[in-house]
Structure 1
Amino acid sequence: MQVTETLNEGLKRAYKLMLTAQELDDKVNEKLAEAQPEIEMKGFRKGKVPMALLKKQFGPRLMGEAMQETIDGAMNKHFEDSGDRPALQPEVKMTNEDWKEGDDVHVEMAYEKLPEIPEVDLASISLERMVVKADDAAVDEALASLAETAQDFKDRKKGSKAKDGDQVVFDFLGKVDGEPFEGGSAEDYPLVLGSGQFIPGFEEQLAGVKAGEEKDVTVTFPEEYQAEHLAGKEAVFSCTIKEVKEPVAAEIDDELAKKFGAEDLAALKGQIGERLEAEYAGAARAVLKRGLLDKLDEMVKFDLPPSLVEAEAKQIAHQLWHEEHPEVHDHNHDGIEPTEEHTKLAERRVRLGLLLAELGQKAEVQVTDAEMTQAIMNQARQYPGQERQFFEFVQQNQQMQQQLRAPIFEDKVVDYVCELAQVSEKEISKDELQKAVEEMENDD
């Protein structure tokens, strides 16, 4: 196989490969010789079929296999000898399309190689890890929120009008075209006004009602209502109001703690403190990671494969467009051209991605099966009732597996770098941490 370089410009490489007719014929004969001992044919004993007959019958089929194997072998040898690592799958095409048996095979191969990544002195990197303790005020605030979720209702003073957030206990009977319909009636039904539990327009009409009052509520079922026979129909609900109750937060005591699975109030406070500090630590880690990536981006410069930058810029532009147009759920829209800003962000992502991949490879960072399983389980929770199908989908989809593996690998490399860097701790307030997170998000 003759290999001739035709392009060497930056990271771009191109080569012409020529497989002679004799090389191809030798490869076919080699494959036939390997198979001959096992071949049986009418009129011949096993393994005694003449090569000429075998070549006539099986030669054309083996020709394609031999051609592909030889070209693949030449490409693999080229990458092994040169040390090049292609950024994307190399473009390979046969240039003599009118090829016939007996002709040489001419092939062109083009690719962009991954750049050489410079060494980074990780020990020279200085980082600051923010530490936030869960103080009594934060714990009390979280407790108050829990008490609201465990709220109860008590009767309002006689004659009080119901308002948003109140619970109205009532009987109702709904009719369409004067006829009651299935599921359109109930007794002693507790409805919290403003909860959105009933169809649009219903709860608003109960605002201002009093206990003992009767009221007709007229609403129109949405066109996309799940019960087709009611969709788009106007209905009148005859309502008898029995009680109007106001919300009351639960008492913050041992009983409340037991509702949330804690032994007593002190234990609940301890659990809340631990949860808050875990949340703070997660936010602080995100800020630390961003600081690390910013420093690495400043420290390391190298040529980037244009194809990777272009693909990343297109993906960024597409993602941001969908964030600006949340009403569009499909991809049936005009092409979105990346801007200079998209390209600049893509260059940063590609550079950091290649650098972290290099650091992780040298440090032999691995994503374990257990970590992958956990990631798949976390993702599967977004599809309740279809978890098994999601697992099977991921198992059969290499691209999806890579999407789940990539962030785990990146986080493990970041942890590895932080172990070698100089990391100091600074205790700050919750508000200061929140400000740091907002500044980070605004810079994205």
Structure 2
Amino acid sequence: MQVTETQKEGLKRGYTITVTAAELDAKVQEKLVEAQPEIEMKGFRKGKVPLAILRKQFGQRLLGDAMQDAIDNAMRDHFEATGDRPAMQPDVQMQDGENWSEGKDVVVDMSYEALPEIPELDASKVELERLVVKADDEAVEEALKNLAESAENFADRRKGSKAKEGDQVVIDFKGSVDGEEFEGGSAEDYPLVLGSNSFIPGFEDQLVGAKADEEVEVKVTFPAEYGAAHLAGKDAVFACTVKAVKAPKPAEIDDELAKKYGAEDLAALKAQIAERLEEEYKGAARAVMKRALLDQLDKLVEFELPPSLVEAEANQIAHQLWHDEHPEEHGHNHGEIEVTDEHKKLANRRVRLGLLLAELGRKHEIDVTDQEMTQAVMNQARQYPGQERAFFEFVQKNQEVQQQLRAPIFEDKVVDHIVENAKVTEKEVGKDELQKAVEALDEE
């Protein structure tokens, strides 16, 4: 077997791999010998079929396998010997193609872009500022007020009061289509918040202005895409009896509210809120510091980038941004999307930082543990209530989804490693200053 270099320009590499006919024949023979003990054939005992007969019966089938094995082994040996790591899957083309016949040498052209040598990063040269925000009394009180509003109760309005949007009406109703009541169209003592849009469009609007003890006939049309096919697009009439009209009333900020949220008393709830707020502040401050770190890394380390990776990333960025601007388009029948200089600039940054972080992770043996992956899958599965098991099975079978979940965890672990060795100073700021810093991230 022979490997001959044909191109070495920048990161581009080209090689010719030659597998002689004799080597290929020996590989076929090796596979026949390996398979012989398990083969049964009429007229012969198991494992005693002569190799000549096996070659005649299975030789052609094994020839392709032997050819693939020989080329794969040659490529593996080449990468081990040179230390090259291809940026993308190498392009492998057989020279003779369809004209090749048994008994001839196999000659293959292999080309790829090698990953560049990435210089060492001196993390001590990285200077970062960590914003620190304390949860003050004002922030805790604001959070308490929001909790009280979300835990609001409803109290009866004065007799004769008209229902307003935001009020709760307690109703009995019976729905009918073409004069016939339908299954699931009736209820008693149903508490409906007007403006919640929890009923068919137009239903709640017709109850605004209603009073307790009134009868209201609500006429609506079921949406064309309604889940129950026999009702979709149909006109319906709901006979409603308004039994009560209630106004929203925020919960009192007291020990009872605290107990609703699992705390012993109001003081314990305030402590929990302060702790949660400071965790949120830490997360936001980390995002700000991470962006500052990536900005520095982008300038600190320079190396040649594989053009194929940059081109692929630029196309992906352009495609994603186009879909962000056209959310109504879910497919890919939208023609060619222009890749701009701005897309290429962003692609260069992403590829450079991606390669740098990957190399740092490799050198320092940073990896994502099974436990971390399981936690990531569980977090994602919570977005599909009732379908968690199906989501787990989907992830197990899909390598691409696994990589999408693993990548951000790996990146954060590498970032943490750099931060541990960088010069980090802390600066105490107010939550408004932190908020401005976070908003600035989206503007860049």
Q: How does 1:19-418 map onto structure 2 within 5 Å?
A: 19-33=19-33, 51-97=51-97, 98-418=99-419
What is the TM-score with the length of structure 1 in the denominator?
0.94
Measure how far apart 1:38 and its partner are: 6.7
Residue identity matched to 1:413: V
Question: Aligned pair 1:3/2:3, yes or no?
Answer: yes
Stretch of structure 1 that moved more, 413-422 or 384-393:
384-393
1:368 and 1:57 map into 2 onto residues whose CA distance is 48
**Other-structure match for 1:433:** 434
Moved more, 380-389 or 235-244: 235-244
Q: 1:173 to 1:39 in 2, by over 3 A?
A: closer
Question: Hey, what's the Cα distance between the residues in 2 that align with 1:223 and 1:67?
Answer: 59
Per-residue Cα deviation, 1:28-80 (whole angstroms, up to 9, x for no partner): 34444555677676677777765544444443333222222221121111111
**Secondary structure of 1:236's match?**
strand
User: SS of the counterpart of 1:262?
Assistant: coil
More off after superposition, 160-169 vs 350-359: 160-169
In 2, the alpha carbon distance for the partners of 1:442 and 1:426 equals 23
Distance 1:18 1:187, change over 3 A: closer
| Secondary structure of residue in 2 paired with 1:119 | coil
- Give the Å deviation of 1:10: 1.5
For residues 214 and 111 of structure 1, do their structure 2 counterparts lie closer, same or farther at Cα, with a shift above 3 Å needed?
Answer: same
- Amino acid in the other structure paired with 1:59: G
Distance 1:194 1:54, change over 3 A: closer
Aligned equivalents of 1:83, 1:76: Cα separation in 2: 10
- The 10-residue stretch of structure 1 (112-121 or 339-348) with the greater mean CA deviation from structure 2: 339-348
Q: Which residue of 1 aligns with 2:16?
A: 16
Cα distance 1:180–1:21, how it changes in 2: closer, same or farther (>3 A)?
A: closer
Q: Distance in 1 between matches of 2:28 and 2:226?
A: 67
Assess, with a 3 A threshold, how the Cα gap between structure 1 residues 152 and 52 changes in structure 2: closer, same or farther: closer
Shift of the 278–43 alpha-carbon distance from structure 1 to 2, 3 Å rule, reads same
| 386-395 or 193-202, which deviates more | 386-395
Which residue identity does 1:310 align to in structure 2? E
Greater CA drift, 123-132 or 308-317: 308-317
Measure how far apart 1:141 and its partner are: 0.7
> Aligned partners of 1:38, 1:178: CA distance in 2, in Å?
76
Q: Structure 2 counterpart of 1:440, which letter?
A: L
1:178, distance to aligned residue in structure 2 (A): 3.4
CA distance in 2, matches of 1:44, 1:182: 72
**CA deviation string 1:328-377 (max 9, x = no partner):** 33334323232221121111111100000011111110111100111111
Q: Flag structure 1 segments of 5+ consecutive residues without an equivalent.
A: none
User: Is 1:419 matched with 2:413?
Assistant: no
Describe the superposition over 1:171-195 as per-residue Cα deviations: whole angstroms up to 9, x where unpaired: 3333333343333333333221111
Letter in 1 for 2:120: E
Q: Aligned partners of 2:385, 2:196: CA distance in 1, in Å?
A: 24
My pick for the range that moved more, 416-425 or 240-249, is: 240-249
Cα distance change, pair 389–172 in 1 and its aligned pair in 2 (3 A): closer
Say which is worse superposed, 131-140 or 171-180, in terms of deviation.
171-180
After superposition, the CA RMSD in angstroms is: 2.1
Q: Deviations over 1:242-295 (max 9, x none)?
A: 322211111100011111111000011111111111111111111111110000
Aligned mates of 1:432, 1:271 — CA distance in 2 = 23
Cα distance in 2, alignment partners of residues 143 and 119 from structure 1: 49
In the aligned structure 1, how far is the partner of 2:211 from the partner of 2:45? 102
| Pair 1:227–1:69, CA change in 2 (3 A) | closer
**Structure 2: runs of 5+ lacking an equivalent:** none
Rounded to whole Å, the distance in 2 between the matches of 1:3 and 1:401 is 36
**Which amino acid in the other structure matches residue 11 of structure 1?**
L
Provide, for residues 401-427 of structure 1, a one-character-per-residue CA deviation record: whole Å limited to 9, x for no partner: 111111111000000000000011111
The change in CA–CA distance for 1:44 and 1:260 in structure 2 (over 3 A counts) is closer
* Larger CA deviation: 73-82 vs 137-146: 73-82
What SS does the aligned partner of 1:337 have?
coil
Structure 1 position 23, deviation (Å): 2.3
| Amino acid corresponding to residue 376 of structure 2 in structure 1 | A
TM-aligned CA distance change 1:263 to 1:8, over 3 Å? same
C-alpha separation between the residues in 1 aligned to 2:301 and 2:61?
A: 51
CA distance in 1, matches of 2:390, 2:375: 16
Aligned length: 443
Q: Partner amino acid for 1:169? A: V
Secondary structure in 2 matching 1:307 = helix
Q: Whole-Å Cα distance in 2 between the matches of residues 385 and 211 of structure 1?
A: 39
